[in-house]
Amino acid sequence: MKTIALSEKTFNILQRLKTAKKAGSFEEIVVELIVEKENIPKSLFGTLKKKTKPFTSENRKELWNDRI
């Protein structure tokens, strides 16, 4: 994790956005702004992390069996 310095004005803007969007962290807001500005596919930022289930060993076996 890294720390960055912000002016009071920038901090207040981010705080309002965080509240308005009901974001869990400032990082969510910053990433969302970057993605929107740069047209970066959301998948590059791990946005599915909390929306998908982790692979089980059974899932992995199925995937490898499909390739054989």
- CA dist list (Å): 61 to 52, 53, 55, 66, 68: 18, 16, 10, 9, 11
Supply the pLDDT for residue 46: 62
Write out the two tokens for 10.
């920038």
Residue 6 pLDDT > 60: yes
Q: Which amino acid is at 62?
A: E
What pLDDT does 42 receive? 61
Give the start-to-end residue ranges of the domains of the chain.
8-67
For 46, the token pair is 């791990």
pLDDT value, residue 25: 92
Phi, psi of 41 (to 5 degrees): -60, 135
pLDDT the model gives residue 37: 79
Q: What is the pLDDT of residues 8-67, one digit of tens each?
A: 999 999 999 999 999 999 999 998 888 787 776 666 656 556 666 666 777 767 767 655
